[in-house]
Structure 1
Amino acid sequence: MTADVVPLKRPEGQPSLDPMLGLTAPGMNAVNAVILDRMQSKIPLIPALAGHLISGGGKRLRPMLTLAGAEVVGYNGTRHHKLAAAVEFIHTATLLHDDVVDGSDLRRGKAAANIVFGNPATVLVGDFLFSRAFELMVEDGSLKVLKILSNASAVIAEGEVDQLTAQRQIETSEERYLSIIGAKTAALFAAASRIAAVVAECDERREQALDDYGRNLGIAFQLVDDAIDYDSDASTMGKARGDDFREGKMTLPVILAYARGSEDERKFWQAAIAGHRTDDAALEEATHLIARHDALLATRERARHFASRAIDALSIFPDSAARRAMAEAAEFAVARGY
C-alpha cells in the first residue's frame, strides 16, 4: 500500500491547530471534567500515576476529533463529552503500556510514568484507564458506539503486537509499516471521529466520511511522528531523540534509507537495526544516511498525501468553521515539528 505523492494546498502562513482548539474549547472543558472525575480512585497511586501523564500536556487531538466531528454534523447534545473522555482514556492507557514495552525514559518532556512509578504500577493503571473507558461507553448505552470503540481497542493492540514482531526486522516493507500504523495509531483517530456521527444519528455516508477523515489524518500524524524522531530534539519532541532507532523500529525513514542505500550502507542498517550499533555515533550515522537519501522529505510527502485524503473526506459536509478547522488540523499534522 504505497502512496502517490499529492501536493497539499496550504493557507498563507503556517498551518495551526488554533482553529481546532478554539472550536472545541467549550466541549473540552466538559471532557476534561469527566477525565478528572473518572481517573479518581480510593487507591491513591492510581490518580497520582494517571495524573502524571494526563496533566503532562499533549495535544488531546483524539477527543478533539470527536468534538469537532459533532460540530461539523451539527450535533447539539452532550453525549459525545463522555465518549471523548473514553477515547482519551484509551489513548492514555496505550501510552502507559507503550512506555513499559519500549522502556521509555521521557514522555511529553518529563520522566515517563514507568521511570517514576515502576513498570508494574504503570501497566496496572493503564488497565484501570481501559476499564474506565469501557464504563463510559456502557453508560452511553449505544451498542454501535461500543462496537466501534471496542473494535478500535482490539485493532490498536494488534497493531502494537505487529510492531513488536517487526522490531529489528530489517526486511520490513513499506506496506507492512503502513498496516502497522494504520492499526496502532489511525484506528483510534478513525473511531474518535466516527462516533460523533453515530451520536448525531447521521447516515452511513457521513459516518464513513468522518471515519475516512480520522483514519487518513492518523496515518499522516504517525508518519510525521516517525520523521520527527530523526529531525528534532528531546526538548521539542518531549521524548528522547532517536528512541525509535535504538529500539530497532522499522519506521518509514529507515525503510526508505535502507532501500535506497549502497551495499555498505545496508550493512550498517542491518547491524544497527539488529541492535549491534545503537550508540550516539551510530544514531548520527543513521541520521546522515536518512538525510542523504531524502527519506525524511519522502516521509513527509507521503504524510501530505494522506492529509489531502483526510481533507477530501470532509467534502460532503457544507462549508463551516468546523470543516475549515478540521482541514487545517490535517495541514498542521504534516507541517508540525513536535
Structure 2
Amino acid sequence: MSLADAATRPHDRLRDYLAEDMEAVNALIRTRMASEHAPRIPEVTAHLVEAGGKRIRPMMTLAAARICGYAGEDHRKLAATVEFIHTATLLHDDVVDESGQRRGRPTANLLWDNKSSVLVGDYLFARSFQLMVETGSLRVLDILANASATIAEGEVLQLTAAQNLGTTEAVYAQVIRGKTAALFEAATQVGGVIAGAPEAQVTALARYGDALGMSFQIVDDLLDYGGASGAMGKNTGDDFRERKLTLPVIKAVAKAGAEERAFWSRVIEKGDQRAGDLEQALRLMQSHGTLEETRDEALRHANDAKAALAQVPEHPLRDMLSELADFVVARVS
C-alpha cells in the first residue's frame, strides 16, 4: 500500500463515503465551540480543530452507526462529542508535555498560554457532555464518561511511570489503553449503541476500537524510532529526548546487560543525553530486535481488530474499517 497514494488510504475513503455526515459534524463542532462571552475559546479551539486532523475517531462513530443500520442524526452529535473529547485531551497533553508543535503547527499553549489551553480544554469537555446528554441515552453517557475518566487515569499513570526503568510492558499497555485505545473503543461502541444494534455487535465494535487504538499507539511510538525498517515516519527521537518509556525501549531495557542498562539509566532516568545517544539507543534496539518485536505487537492488535469486525453486518464501511487496521500497521512496513 503506497502511503503517497491518497486514493488508497482507507481514512480518505471513509471521509468520502461519510461526506454528508462529516459536513454536518463539522458544522456542529463549529457551532458548539462558539462562546458568546469568551472569544478566546473559539480562537484556541479553531487553531487545533482546523489544523488538518484526519477526524478518524468521529468517522469511526459514524461508520459504526451506519454499519448497524442507523438512519437518525444522533450519531452526528456523538461524533462531535468524540472529537471534542479528543481535542480537549490534546490541549491538556501539550501543556503536560510542554510541547511546542502539534500537526506541524505551534501548539495552543505556545501561541496563547498554558492557562488558556487548560481552561479551553475544560470547556470542550463540558460541551462534549452537553452533546451526549442530548441523545437521551444513559448508556451512551455511561460509556463516554467512563472513557473520559480512563483517559485521565492513563495520563496520570504515564506521569508516574515516566523515566522509571522498572516500567513493565503491562504498565505500558495500561497507559496506552487509557490515553488512546479508550476513546477509540468508546467511539465505535456508542455508534452501535445509538443504532440499537444487538449486544454482540456492540461488543464486537468495542473490541475493534480497543484493538485498533492499541495498534495505532504502538505504531506511533515505533515511528519515533524510524519504524521497524528504519523508515522515518515523524520527528525521529522526540520520545527519546522527552525520556518517554515506550514499548521499543521497555523491551530493550528488559534485554540489557549491566553496561547497556547503565546507558538507559543515564539517558532516561537521569536525563543526561549527549551527542550520539539517540544513534546508540537505535543500535541497541536493533541488536535486540525490539523494533521488530514492537511491530509484531502492533500487527497482532490490528489482526484482533479485523477479527472483531466479523461479528458485524456486511457493509462497505465495514471493509473500510478493516482496511484502516491494515493501514495503521502499514506505516511501519
Q: What TM-score, normalized to structure 2?
A: 0.92
Matched residue, 2:192: 197
Contact 1:94-1:126 within 8 A present in 2 as well: yes
> For the residues of structure 1 that align with 2:237 and 2:260, how far apart are their CA atoms?
18
Q: What pairs with 1:1-338 in structure 2 (closer than 5 Å)?
A: 16-42=10-36, 43-231=38-226, 237=234, 240-279=235-274, 281-336=276-331
Please identify runs of 4+ aligned residues in structure 1 that moved more than 3 A: 13-16
For residues 25-67 of structure 1, what are the alpha-carbon distances to aligned partners after superposition, in whole Å with 9 as ceiling and x for unaligned? 2211111111111111131211111111111112211101101
Q: How far 1:322 moved relative to its partner? A: 1.2
- Amino acid of the structure 1 residue aligned with 2:124: L
| 1:100-155 residue CA offsets vs partner (Å, 9 max, x unmatched) | 00111110011111111111111111111111101101111111110100010001
Instruction: Give the corresponding residue for 2:4.
Output: none
Measure, in 1, the Cα distance between the counterparts of 2:120 and 2:243: 27
Residue 263 of structure 1 deviates from its aligned partner by: 2.3
Aligned in 2, Cα 1:286/1:150: closer, same or farther, shift over 3 Å?
A: same
SS of the residue corresponding to residue 224 of structure 2 reads: helix
Q: CA deviation at 1:280?
A: 5.1
**Per-residue Cα deviation, 1:256-285 (whole angstroms, up to 9, x for no partner):** 111223321111111111143335532232
| SS of residue paired to 1:151 | helix
How far did residue 15 of structure 1 move? Answer: 6.2
For the Cα contact (< 8 Å) 2:243–2:271, is it kept in 1? no
2:74 and 2:16 mapped to 1: Cα distance? 20
Residue type at the aligned position of 1:34: L
Between the two structures, name the one with larger relative contact order (CA 8 Å, sep ≥ 6): 1
Which range moved further: 257-266 or 213-222?
Answer: 257-266
* 1: CA distance, partners of 2:193 / 2:243: 39
Contact 1:167 1:247 in 2 (8 A): no
Cα RMSD of the aligned pairs, angstroms, is 2.0
Work out whether residues 224 and 233 of structure 2, in 8 Å CA contact, stay in contact via their aligned partners in 1.
Answer: no
8 Å contact kept, 2:243–2:268: yes
CA contact (8 A) 1:248 1:275 kept: no
Deviations 1:181-228 (A, max 9, x none): 111111110000000111111121111010000000000000001001
- Contiguous gaps of at least 5 residues in structure 2: 1-6
Name the CA shift for 1:256/1:108 in 2 (closer, same or farther; >3 Å).
same
Q: 1:135 and 1:280, CA in 2 relative to 1: closer, same or farther beyond 3 A?
A: farther
User: Aligned equivalents of 2:259 and 2:25: distance in 1?
Assistant: 52
Q: Is the 8 A contact 1:70 1:196 kept in 2?
A: yes
CA change 1:61–1:278 in 2 (3 A) is farther
1:85, CA displacement in angstroms?
A: 0.3
Please state whether the residue corresponding to 1:140 is helix, strand or coil: coil
Question: Does the 8 Å contact 2:28/2:77 carry over to 1?
Answer: yes
| 2:175 partner letter | I
Amino acid at match of 1:147: D
Q: How far apart are 1:166 and its partner, in Å?
A: 0.1
**Which whole-Å CA distance do the structure 1 matches of 2:253 and 2:128 have between them?**
40
**How far apart in 1 are the matches of 2:35 and 2:161?**
37
Q: How far apart, CA to CA, are the structure 1 residues paired with 2:273 and 2:116?
A: 29
> C-alpha deviations, 1:230-277, integer Å up to 9, x for none?
1179x953xx54232222221101011112233211111111111433
Distance 1:26 1:306 in 2: 31
Residues 41, 161 of structure 1: alpha-carbon distance in 2 compared, 3 angstrom cutoff: same
